[in-house]
Amino acid sequence: MSGGVIRTPDPVDFDALVARFRSLYDAEPDGVWAAPGRVNIIGEHTDYNGGFVLPIALAQHTVAAVRRRDDNVVRVASTSIDDGAVVTLDLTGVREDGDYDWAAYVVGVGWAAAQRDLPVTGLDIALDSNVPVGAGLSSSAALSCVTARAWSDLLDWQLDDETVADLGRDAENKIAGAPTGLMDQLASVCGQESHAMQIDTRAVTITQLPFDLPAAGLSLLVIDSHTEHSHADGEYAERRHSSQEAALRLGVHELRDVPLESLATTLDKLPALLRRRARHVVTDSARVERTAELLLAGDDLRRIGPLLNDSHASMRDDYEITVPSVDTLQEAAVAAGAHGARMTGGGFGGCVIALVDQQDAAAVADACVAAAADGGFPTPSVFEAVASGGAARIE
């Protein structure tokens, strides 16, 4: 299915990674672990409102060759960063206000484990990855979760998947300083082949739902706009604040608690801006539930297309988190025959997903590239997302 402008990221070369480990540390790794990136199918900015999200784990992953040490030192090198130079840190010195750059996603896991009174020793780690970095596909969770899975297995912490994900989230939130919900890490740890995960972010429960696109003759394209808004952090903070403010004014704990049935009359109580913000959160969470129903029933997956389009319109008009490059790609995908398309991820750039019949994939990808050129936007890159398994030891 690749060809034309659809280019699947090159696979990680496991043998080369192990060879690099040997040359960096003059020793054999104890094992090799992998954890995937993720793409959210539907339900955006619902996670911090107690609502639903519906991600899949990707076939693209971060791979770690790891050896246990007997002291508190972590040595880590990543082919993606600084030409693979080794970073050396002492775990006992890791603090919430420290600055560890990208290594925060690694040592943060050790810090989080120590907070839970788990026995922690240092590690030697060599990393490689084919998850696009900073594109909204959670390369950060792939990194924190491969670390958490490896550490837990090597030190026999015997943790359930949710706790492994939680170590990754603590590393991101508290040591890397990235305010994410738990979706990214849960998806990376709990992904299953040919399944999407409906996550109830309040109860922290996962329902695995059949999502076998190839069997239905379908393909899910991920179209990376290669644009990023410089004020995305401030915008994210505003949306969180607006959500809390709307919930407060409506007298509910979280926007999750606003019933869909009486939404119109409920929203009348809010000023215009908060009304739009709340409407997005409530309707997008409901769209997750509707999508999950269709998946569970084994319905024609094409029927989720309109829900994807509605979700995009809601993010564009009510939550105001899309940008022109992304709107252009979404429109171009639908005009070229996608059953549905939407921006995915936090917004202000990042990726669009498009649900297409397999035979239309190349034409839709071409149309997106052409539309970006017409609009004067960066050339998008396109690959096919395949619902894949979660973090695991592979050697």
Residues engaged in binding ligand ADP (CB under 6 A): 62, 78, 80-81, 102, 105, 127, 129, 133-140, 143, 178
366 tagged catalytic: no
CB closer to Mg ion, 135 vs 301:
135
Q: What is the dihedral of CA 235, 283, 290, 48, to 10 degrees?
A: 40
Binding partner of 150, given Mg ion, ligand ADP, none, CB within 5-8 angstroms per partner class: none
Kindly state the tokens that stand for 384. Answer: 């096919």
The SS3 call for residue 325 is: helix
CB of 264 to Mg ion, least distance (A): 35
Kindly state the tokens that stand for 337. Answer: 């025959």
**Dihedral-angle region of residue 14 (phi above 0 means left; psi in -120 to 50 means alpha; beta otherwise):** alpha
What is the number of residues in the chain? 395
Q: Which residues contact 158 (CB under 8 A, 6 or more apart)?
A: 152
Scanning 41-49, 136-144, 147-155, 292-300 for contacts with Mg ion by CB under 5 A, the matching segment is 136-144
Binding partner of 232, given Mg ion, ligand ADP, none, CB within 5-8 angstroms per partner class: none
Binding partner of 252, given Mg ion, ligand ADP, none, CB within 5-8 angstroms per partner class: none
CA separation for the pair 89, 252 (Å, rounded) = 45
CB of 9 to Mg ion, least distance (A): 17
CB closer to Mg ion, 140 vs 243:
140
CB closer to ligand ADP, 172 vs 360:
172
CB of 186 to ligand ADP, least distance (A): 14
Rounded to an integer, what is the distance from CA 313 to the centroid of its chain? 21
CB of 179 to ligand ADP, least distance (A): 10
**Residue 251 near residue 57 (C-beta atoms within 8 A):** no
Count residues contacting Mg ion (CB under 5 A)?
2
Closest CA to 39 of 395, 392, 391, 388: 388
Q: Which residues of 2-29 are buried (b: 16+ CB within 10 A; e: fewer)?
A: eeebbeeeeebeeeebbebbeebbeeeb
User: Which one of the listed residues 47, 166, 184, 224 is annotated catalytic?
Assistant: 184
Told to check if 78 binds Mg ion by CB under 5 A, we report no
CB of 178 to ligand ADP, least distance (A): 6
CB closer to Mg ion, 51 vs 350:
350
Told to check if 140 binds Mg ion by CB under 5 A, we report yes
Amino acid at 136: G
- Tokens 């706009």 belong to residue: 225
The DSSP string of 9-27 is PPPP-HHHHHHHHHHHHSS
Scanning 84-92, 106-114, 133-141, 284-292 for contacts with Mg ion by CB under 5 A, the matching segment is 133-141
CB of 172 to Mg ion, least distance (A): 7
Cβ-proximal residue to Mg ion, closest one: 140
**Residue 321 near residue 45 (C-beta atoms within 8 A):** yes
Told to check if 40 binds Mg ion by CB under 5 A, we report no
Told to check if 344 binds Mg ion by CB under 5 A, we report no
**Residue 42 near residue 311 (C-beta atoms within 8 A):** yes
CB closer to Mg ion, 78 vs 140:
140
CB closer to ligand ADP, 135 vs 222:
135
Interaction site with Mg ion (CB under 5 A)? 138, 140
Which of the residues are catalytic? Answer: 184
